[in-house]
């Protein structure tokens, strides 16, 4: 129970990687605040909802409806967390979207949508929680990036740009707050079996690339793989890990 007495905010916690992280952290003793647009997952295999799973395990949790691209809603999320639990020890930014289009086909609206959720949302949440972490004497932040923030991939200009921004934002904020005992790191998943990725797993040409580049194929990543990496990064014993990206990709980036 390495997170006993910790309070963790997990954005995008209703489904996919965020759901797996929320459930795993709760199993390690953390109180979990799930920030998402809806509590119920849209996907039948992710039933019951994350809150119910965590409550059934005996852990304490709270769902707060949040659009991470809205600074007002993010500020309200953090304020409500502090009101309920009087602190926030951990922030995990997961909420994101993935749209494939070559840059010449990307509309202004698509660009804004992806950047606002995938990058601006991380900025908003970190800006909101860090003052509270400073008052508490420290905290841990994990930003879920992507291997496509490190390496490009076909027809994903908006996604790659947003995740590249997450990578550098993570390092920069780590530089600013390491001396104040706030650890900031990222985890970069490769191909992971979530519904955001499912349409591409069903596209033969894209699936062939995934299988060729992932050394563990046919075993592709699952959300629990990323949850284990995130847990490592918030473990108090790993306090010498700072401003880095833990890649969880089945070997993709070394091929």
| pLDDT, averaged across the chain | 95
Does 213 fall in a domain? yes
pLDDT recorded at residue 196:
72
Which residues fall within 8 angstroms of residue 199, CB to CB, at 6 or more apart? none
Q: Which helix (H) or strand (E) holds 233?
A: helix 223-234
Distance CA 90, CA 126 (A): 10
Q: What pTM value is reported for the model?
A: 0.96
Average pLDDT rounded to a whole number, residues 1-9: 97
Is there a catalytic annotation at residue 159? yes
Which range marks the domain in which residue 29 is found?
7-254
Does 212 fall in a domain? yes
pLDDT digits over 180-229, tens only? 999 999 999 998 988 777 777 788 888 888 888 889 988 889 999 999 99
For the cut 90, the answer to whether the pLDDT of residue 14 exceeds it is: yes
Which residues fall within 8 angstroms of residue 104, CB to CB, at 6 or more apart? none
List the CATH number of the domain containing 211. 3.40.50.720
Distance CA 90, CA 194 (A): 23
Does 2 fall in a domain? no
Inter-residue contact 242 to 183 (CB < 8 Å): yes
Catalytic residue, candidates 124, 159, 177, 210: 159
Q: How many domains does the chain have?
A: 1
pLDDT digits over 150-169, tens only? 998 888 999 999 999 999 99
């Amino acid at each position: 129970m390495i997170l006993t007495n910790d309070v963790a905010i997990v954005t995008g916690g209703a489904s996919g990687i965020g759901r797996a992280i929320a459930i795993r952290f709760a199993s390690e003793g953390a109180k979990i605040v799930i920030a998402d647009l809806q509590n119920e997952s849209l996907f039948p295999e992710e039933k019951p909802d994350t809150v119910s799973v965590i409550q059934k395990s005996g852990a304490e949790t709270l769902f707060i409806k949040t659009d991470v691209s809205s600074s007002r809603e993010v500020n309200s999320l953090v304020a409500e967390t502090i009101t309920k639990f009087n602190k926030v020890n951990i922030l995990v930014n997961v909420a994101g979207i993935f749209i494939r289009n070559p840059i010449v086909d990307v509309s202004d609206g698509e660009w804004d949508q992806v950047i606002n959720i995938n990058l601006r949302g991380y900025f908003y949440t970190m800006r909101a929680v860090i003052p509270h972490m400073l008052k508490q004497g420290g905290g841990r932040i994990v930003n879920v990036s992507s291997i496509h923030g490190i390496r490009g991939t076909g027809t994903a200009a908006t996604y790659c740009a947003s995740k590249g921004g997450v990578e550098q934002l993570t390092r920069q904020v780590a530089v600013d707050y390491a001396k104040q005992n706030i650890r900031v790191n990222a985890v970069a998943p490769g191909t992971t079996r979530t519904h955001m990725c499912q349409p591409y797993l069903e596209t033969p040409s894209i699936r062939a690339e995934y299988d060729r580049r992932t050394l563990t194929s046919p075993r592709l990543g699952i959300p629990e793989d990323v949850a284990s990496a995130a847990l490592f990064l918030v473990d108090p014993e790993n306090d010498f890990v700072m401003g880095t990206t833990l890649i969880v990709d089945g070997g993709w980036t070394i091929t």
